[in-house]
Structure 1
Amino acid sequence: MGHQLVYLVAVGGKRPASKTSRTSELFAHARRLILAAVAFCMMAFTASTSHAQSNPFAGMAGSWSGGGTVTLDDGSSERIRCRAIYRVIGPNMEMSLTCASDAYKFNLAANVVAEGGAVSGNWTESSRNIGGSLQGRGGGGNFQVVASAAAFNARISLRTAGNKQTVDMSADSVFRSVHMALSK
């Protein structure tokens, strides 16, 4: 009996818990952790979904590839293979687009920002060492922009729906048009 009193004083007056009560405490603690994790994930998903819906470049981030055709100044047409990479950070997007045919290649890079439906930025085409500005409108994966430089203008239409994307460009020099169908 004396040992039991010493034990109760040493453990703060509490009796030792049985194995079944320890197990149920562990399960209760695990349930609380799981519920907290589920609540956290749901809040994070909701926040990212609402952010994605308000982002003009929603659904574009990542790597895309596919093919299409380029029509040159002389009227000839060639099949091209293309790869695009979009890096989206809030209302900003960095784009890299490489397309090649048997005789034609271009490497286009752009930095774009969208504000209130307006899109603006800069672009460069490294294989010809030219660059300029981008101006246009769009959002939700659909954009109409004009790429301008000295003695060069190209109208670009970009449409994204799910994992499919089409890009159409028409220019007043070098090439007449480009049509691409890309997928993620």
Structure 2
Amino acid sequence: MLRKIVSSRRIALVSILLVAASGSAAAQSLPFTGLTGSWAGAGAISLSDGSKERLRCKATYQVSNGERRLLQSLRCASDSYRFDLNSDVVSQDGTIAGSWSETSRGISGSIAGRESGGLISAVIDAPGFSASLSLSTRGNKQSFSISSEGDIRNVTINMSRN
């Protein structure tokens, strides 16, 4: 049971990271302009025990509400797990807020922060953990990192539009 909780927390953290990665398009007045479509990427997860795993992801973004609302469908996998994420993120006057759910494990959480000029700083929360997020989107490229004091210490992911 403890292993399932730790695994669920890892998946939730990575999921919300990827939701946040979709948060902004640089140098554009509307935060989600240009994100519609398919994206893919890779990165790494560093765990508290010192281990590190490679991560591969594919995402589909739909933008609405005057380019201020983003719906995301995301699938990620590492050597030890897979997850499917659905998310809904909204930006208003530089404030980012959203919710997500990981359907196969029945977990969910929230994100809150600020965006400006393609950069996002946010706090992500879910039952059992909290983490800080830094994100940059430039044209067809996204990169971010997240830091936590929990089981997942650091996550870095780079995504590109397909």
Distance 2:152 2:84 in 1: 14
Q: Distance in 2 between matches of 1:157 and 1:59?
A: 20
Checking the alignment, whether the CA contact within 8 Å between 1:57 and 1:139 is kept in structure 2 is no
2:53 to 78, 89, 93: 78
Runs (4 or more) in structure 1 with deviation over 6 Å come to none
2:158 aligned partner, one-letter code: A
Whichever structure has more strand as a proportion of its residues is 2
Aligned equivalent of 2:128: 151
Q: Choose from 88, 97, 112 the match for 2:63.
A: 88
Q: Quick check: which one's helix share is greater?
A: 1
- For 2:153, the aligned partner's letter is R
> In the alignment, which residue of structure 2 is the partner of 1:117?
94
Aligned match of 1:34: none
SS of equivalent residue, structure 1 residue 110: strand
Identity of aligned residues (%): 47
Are 1:69 and 2:44 an aligned pair?
Answer: yes
> TM-score, normalised on structure 1?
0.64
Aligned residues: 133
Q: Deviations over 1:17-49 (max 9, x none)?
A: xxxxxxxxxxxxxxxxxxxxxxxxxxxxxxxxx
Unaligned runs of 5+ in 2: 1-26
The structure having more radius of gyration, on CA atoms, is 1
| Correspondence list, 1:33-44, <5 A | none
User: Quick check: 1:99 aligned with 2:76?
Assistant: yes
Deviation, 1:87, is 1.4
> Which amino acid in the other structure matches residue 118 of structure 1?
T
Q: Which has the higher contact order (CA 8 A, sep 6+)?
A: 2
Root-mean-square deviation over aligned CA pairs: 2.1
